[in-house]
Amino acid sequence: MHKLRRLGIALILAISVVAVTGQPAHAAPGRADGKRITLLVHGFDREADVNCAGGWKSAKDLLTANGWTNVYTFGYYTGATNCDVKVDGTTDTRIQEVGRQLAWTVYYYWSGRGVGIDIMAHSMGGLVSRAAIEGVRRYGAAVSATDLPQLASLADVGTAAWPSGWPPYLYIEDIVTLGTPHKGISGVLEACALTHEQCSDMREGSGFLSWLGGLKSSEMGTDYTLLGSGYDDTVSGESAVKGWDSDVSHAAVYYKASDGDTITHTEMRTEKATAFDAVWRNLDDRGSGYYNPPLVQGMYGLYNHMLY
């Protein structure tokens, strides 16, 4: 049984639980430019002991310095530390299942109360975020208040089990992915896939990636920004921008800064100071040249609501 753990989060939400049907009892939140509640979702970690606060420090510092007031980290390994919200799991927990747990987290805290959120995700975290939406679109079903964990206070969640299945709907306005293997990874994951199911899911042509399909929207519409690096030795720039497929409207692949500096896989979630030469796409506007660093461009992706 997968458990939800609540670690030191201060959410400004009512705790009352009401009966919910398969259709929202209220209109979807309106889309608009703004600084919504933002979840930061980490990537694959072979040791399954991610430090959410440390890994996302640069992003959280940038967002809060620019006016975001509700930025929370989401962890999905039992051994993860310093995560605002954490669900149990290992590197053998399939990505689809992690996405299901993320979907319930988003639904319970926000969507079920009519609140839209944004997500910034690194590496596998982008696949987890997409899986949350895909699963709800395919399998989402009505849920009763009696099926949900009865939490006395959001300040002291403790441990609670999510229902089986998927929640009925989600409200996620923007998703920004940083070095996410949308087209999979080859070579570097071959050995990892033998011992970690999550690596197997990320292999090019995997059943999971086939299930995931294209970029799907939540019930309020979801705008995606896909960012990658041409010097990422884990996830190719081409995979990070989903091969520039027709459903990709906001994307960039970074190359070199004026001083010759490049961006590694890890630096996709930490680089915020230097402009880099990049190939980019923004709706019908496409080109190349010096471009905002990943975290800054990601911040703009969170702020802007423009759908493709």
17-70 pLDDT, tens digit per residue, is 444 445 566 689 989 899 999 999 999 999 999 999 999 999 999 999 999 999
| pLDDT value, residue 61 | 98
Q: Three-state DSSP class for 112?
A: helix
User: At residue 213, does pLDDT exceed 60?
Assistant: yes
Structure confidence by residue, pLDDT tens digits, 157-186: 334 577 889 999 999 999 999 999 999 998
Q: How far is CA 254 from CA 22, 184, 227, 228, 302, in A?
A: 42, 19, 8, 6, 19
> CA 93 to CA 1: how far, in whole Å?
12
Mean pLDDT over 253-260 rounds to 96
> CA 104 to CA 37: how far, in whole Å?
16
CB neighbours (10 Å) of residue 95?
25
Structure confidence by residue, pLDDT tens digits, 102-147: 999 899 889 999 999 999 999 999 999 999 999 999 999 877 766 7
Q: How confident is the model at residue 10 (pLDDT cuts 50, 70, 90)?
A: very low
Structure confidence by residue, pLDDT tens digits, 65-97: 999 999 999 999 999 999 988 888 999 999 999
| Residue 170: CA count within 13 A, CB half-sphere | 33
User: At residue 9, does pLDDT exceed 50?
Assistant: no
Q: For residue 162, give the DSSP letter.
A: P
Kindly list the structural domains of the chain, giving each domain's residue range(s) and its CATH number in brackets, ordered by start.
Answer: 3-9+32-303 (3.40.50.1820)
| pLDDT value, residue 5 | 45
| pLDDT value, residue 24 | 66
| Residue 21: CA count within 13 A, CB half-sphere | 4
User: At residue 238, does pLDDT exceed 70?
Assistant: yes
Q: Three-state DSSP class for 29?
A: coil
| pLDDT value, residue 25 | 61
| pLDDT value, residue 279 | 97
User: At residue 188, does pLDDT exceed 60?
Assistant: yes
| pLDDT value, residue 23 | 59
User: At residue 98, does pLDDT exceed 60?
Assistant: yes
